[in-house]
Amino acid sequence: MNQFYLVGRIAALPQLQTSPAGWKTCHILLDVERPFANSHGSYESDLLSIEVWRGAAETLCATAQIGSWVTVRGRITGSRCEYEKEREKEEARIYNLVAEKIEYIHCP
């Protein structure tokens, strides 16, 4: 089963765009706190970029506020990317987080 669940705060306002196929899309930057303290006793967080599509993207762009707490359920997609390093072709895997459902928990 390919699913992820995240809870975090919106760190930057998403910008609505249109794909070449005509679908609405945006990326949301989510600040997600780690579930454990570091060696200094403080909790670090990760900034994760999440793809949002179609109606969910339009709704999110119309209602998002920086600092709002949201839950995101989605899937992880992967693709291969070729690049040249020191005149030799290398291959890397790129992973994207794609939202399937976003719900607000609290708005500031």
Look at residue 20 and give its three-state secondary structure. Answer: coil
pLDDT tens readout for residues 10-48: 999 999 999 999 999 999 999 999 989 999 999 999 999
Check residue 86 and give its pLDDT: 78
What gap in Å lies between CA 98 and CA 52, rounded to an integer? 6
> Cα angle vertex 89, ends 83, 92, to 5°?
50
Q: Which residue has the higher pLDDT, 108 or 103?
A: 103
What are the tokens at 51? 């793809």
What gap in Å lies between CA 64 and CA 108, rounded to an integer? 11
Domain boundary assignment for the chain: 4-106
- pTM of the predicted protein model: 0.81
Query: Contact at 8 Å (CB) between 53 and 24?
Result: yes
- Is the per-residue pLDDT at 60 higher than 80? yes
Check residue 108 and give its pLDDT: 64
Domain covering 4-106 assigned CATH 2.40.50.140 in the classification:
yes
pLDDT tens readout for residues 74-95: 999 999 888 877 788 888 889 9
- Is the per-residue pLDDT at 107 higher than 70? no
